[in-house]
A = this chain, B = another copy of it.
Amino acid sequence: MYLKAKPLFSEAKRPMVFLNKEDAEELGVRPLDRIQLSYKKNRIVAIINTTEKFVSAGEIGLYSDVENELQTREGSLIKTEPVDPPESIAFIKKKLSGNNLASAELKKIIEDVVENRLSEIEITAFVIGLYHHGLSVQEAAYLSRAMAQTGKMITTWKKPIYDKHSIGGVPGDKTSMLLVPVVAAAGLTIPKTSSRAITAPAGTADRMECLCPVSLDINEIKRVIEKTNGCLVWGGALDLAPADDIFIEIEYPLSIDPLLLPSVMSKKKAIGANYLVIDIPTGKGVKVKTIAEAQELGSKFIHLGKKLGISVECVSTLGDQPVGYGIGPALEAREVLKTLLEGRGPADLIDKVSNLASVLFDFAGFKDGKQKALDIIKSGRAGKKLTEIIEAQGGNPKIKAEGIPIGPESVEIKSRKSGQVLWINNRVITQTAREAGAPKDKEAGILLHKKTNDNVKKGETLFEIYAKKKHKLKRALKFLRTQDVMKIGKPHEMVLTEIPKEEEKEEFFILER
């Protein structure tokens, strides 16, 4: 059937077209069936949507992307033929029915996801199929490989490659920004790509961007690595395992995360990692609640790493409260810079960094890894390395902590009573910082003055909230009125909190990987 092109003047994620219901019936197709469009020498397979109104019989509604691909104009006569749906739909159904999938089947699904050949309904079915039936380690390996191979693979830089990943969920966790300089200063290659925050107040890319550019291309990254052994860049534009971003769009609204393992490992495979340390923050208010869960997850990562040729070690770390004192891109960048330049800083932060570094140092055959890391920090060599990396990425190597703007709006929250900080609620910290504008407003966030087990006097400042814009500061304060950030009490007090009568509606889902 020939139909006249009608431009829709807007875009869609996938190649979708609108047919009038009458033409759809004539072609014997239904919504979500596939149709091949031909115009001159150009061809494209699109997903069908039908309408009774805004596309008339004899017309076909085209989004800009399809229009560009076919090079049609308004009124161009397009040949349309129904075609079979992508083969991968059969494999998705197979997974939905609880069967394990073979390498070729998973690869076909991932290819079709990346090429936008599958509809949202079909990808959702795949994600939920994985959520229900789980993935075998073998399937996770196939998926990781397929997700890596359908994106860019980096193979050219100096081997071996060391890397670090965190399962995330702890606000203020700026570990990577210290770990990379420490490891690079020891002579190991660590090309760290990071994400921006999705549900957190800051991602490593957001923090590092307060010091220097992070949106580097592969060649620029290579030059940085050659100069300094390390980098701290945003991975989002490097086309590493692009299927992951599409899966995240499905997982986020459903608050499920069945692709955690392949998501992490596909990116590591894509950058060619040989040795990997994975930080699994464990505790209340993060994804992994108990050490047993951390061990289970960790052993899966190790097992999956073996199948992918990556040596993996996992460390379960205390995740009950923020790491260090700053939360939010600029406040965290300040804390990192100050710590490394002065060679000393928050005890928890330094302990975490040196422990994770020691795992990579063990891989490298270095002795006394933890002490070596501490020495590198204390001696200022890590600070020097960070400065080198900042300069190599195009930033100002003379930048000082105080030079990084925060605020200008701020408010101090003081304690109404004396006692000890019994707990800090990660979820409330995260949400308050986000209400205040983080991570979009780099200047926004929270600066803790007290942490768990600290003594507090009535009237003393517990924390400060910073915001770039007044209305966001107000928004954060409004949010705080209904929430408990910290519990101040006596050490012997046994009541953690009073359970509210109504179940709390808002669910907290950590998508950071």
Contact status B505-A90, CB under 8 Å: yes
B contact residues around A505 at 8 Å (CB) = 84, 87, 90
Contact status B64-A507, CB under 8 Å: no
Contact status A249-B31, CB under 8 Å: yes
Asked if A366 is at the interface of the complex by the 8 Å CB criterion, the answer is no
Asked if A28 is at the interface of the complex by the 8 Å CB criterion, the answer is yes
Asked if A10 is at the interface of the complex by the 8 Å CB criterion, the answer is yes
Contact status A11-B51, CB under 8 Å: yes
Report the stretch among A223-231, A250-258, A417-425, A483-491 that lies at the interface. A250-258
CB distance from A163 to the nearest CB of B (A): 27
Given contacts A10-B18, A96-B254, A254-B93, contact A440 B25 (CB under 8 A): yes
Within 8 A of B (CB), among A52-67: 53-54, 61, 64
**Identity of the chain B residue whose Cβ is nearest the Cβ of A33 in the assembled complex:** B253
Asked if A131 is at the interface of the complex by the 8 Å CB criterion, the answer is yes
Within 8 A of B (CB), among A80-94: 84-85, 87, 89-90, 92-93
In the complex, what distance in Å separates the CA atom of A50 from the CA atom of B355? 40
Asked if A125 is at the interface of the complex by the 8 Å CB criterion, the answer is yes
**Identity of the chain B residue whose Cβ is nearest the Cβ of A441 in the assembled complex:** B26
In the complex, what distance in Å separates the CA atom of A144 from the CA atom of B344? 66
The one of B85, B89, B128, B507 that contacts A96, using a Cβ cutoff of 8 Å? B128
Asked if A457 is at the interface of the complex by the 8 Å CB criterion, the answer is no
Asked if A120 is at the interface of the complex by the 8 Å CB criterion, the answer is yes
CB distance from A245 to the nearest CB of B (A): 11
In the complex, what distance in Å separates the CA atom of A11 from the CA atom of B50? 11
Asked if A409 is at the interface of the complex by the 8 Å CB criterion, the answer is no
Contact status B121-A84, CB under 8 Å: no
Given contacts A124-B121, A125-B124, contact A252 B131 (CB under 8 A): no
Chain A residues within 8 Å of B, Cβ to Cβ = 8-11, 18, 25-26, 28, 30-33, 51, 53-54, 61, 64, 84-85, 87, 89-90, 92-93, 96, 119-122, 124-125, 128-129, 131-132, 198, 249-250, 252-256, 434-435, 440, 505-507
Contacts A10-B10, A121-B121, A124-B128 known; list 18 others, CB within 8 Å.
Answer: A8-B8, A9-B10, A9-B54, A11-B51, A11-B53, A30-B198, A32-B249, A33-B253, A87-B505, A89-B253, A90-B505, A96-B132, A96-B254, A96-B256, A120-B120, A121-B124, A122-B253, A124-B125
